[in-house]
Amino acid sequence: MRVRRSRLTDEQTRRLLEHFVAGTPARTAAELVQVNRNTARLFYHKVREIIAQRLESENPMPGGVEVDPSLDESAQDDRGQVQDAPKIPVFALIRRGEKIFTVMVPDPNRPAPPLQKARVRPDSIIYAESPDAQQALDVSDLHHQPVPRRARLVNGRANITSTENFWNQAKRHLRRYNGVPRQNFHLFLKECEWRFNYGPPKALLRILEYWIRRDSRRSSSMPGR
């Protein structure tokens, strides 16, 4: 089992995958597996790309969402207090059954063709402190705003959304990094979606190994390979 264009041995690949699933930072994993830290960092990046590609095929809104302008755009922090500083939406959370899907909100300064967007009312929106203040996003600068909607009843009881559970889990994972590069934030976000939707660590490792094998086979079968 090898990641495409990787020179790691099967044993090194397996051990790095185990550390990735366990949430071990790339630098620490490099020391434990005894590989170069840049090699481990690049390996993690390729794994996140594979995850993002796989999850994109399941995404109910693959072209992104256009946030309904009727939504209240005043952001709230995790305690429900309104923040005074202007915020911009970064991504939305959409629930389909028991799964949570993350959908990036298109940059308003870079309009996409209308057919690539879908106007939906997501379960919640994540706001950032400012449009481009830093090169990296810090999870502490992201505020979760649930979208108001009428409570739906299931067997006479209010249906409790799992978006809050997802956001709490995502925060715990993202806080391990000292900021996430903006250009790669969507990959880290898809990793959080994968961790939430695909079960316990053993299941995560099993499905990830399967995806990597499929990705390697597809690459080797391409013309010119």
Amino acid occupying residue 169? Q
pLDDT digits (tens, 9 = 90+) for 1-35: 667 667 889 899 999 999 999 999 999 999 999 99
C-alpha to C-alpha distance for 173 and 139, rounded to whole angstroms: 10
Q: What pLDDT, on the 0 to 100 scale, is given for residue 73?
A: 47
Are the CB atoms for 8 and 35 separated by under 8 Å?
yes
pLDDT digits (tens, 9 = 90+) for 122-149: 778 887 765 555 677 888 778 888 776 5
Burial (CB < 10 A; 0-12, 13-18, 19+), residue 87, is buried
Q: What pLDDT, on the 0 to 100 scale, is given for residue 64?
A: 58
C-alpha to C-alpha distance for 143 and 214, rounded to whole angstroms: 37
Are the CB atoms for 98 and 162 separated by under 8 Å?
yes
Full-model pTM = 0.79
**Degrees, nearest 5: CA angle 171-173-174:** 65
C-alpha to C-alpha distance for 111 and 9, rounded to whole angstroms: 44
C-alpha to C-alpha distance for 105 and 217, rounded to whole angstroms: 33
By C-alpha distance, which of 109, 123, 10 is closest to 61? 123
Q: What pLDDT, on the 0 to 100 scale, is given for residue 115?
A: 41
C-alpha to C-alpha distance for 52 and 85, rounded to whole angstroms: 32
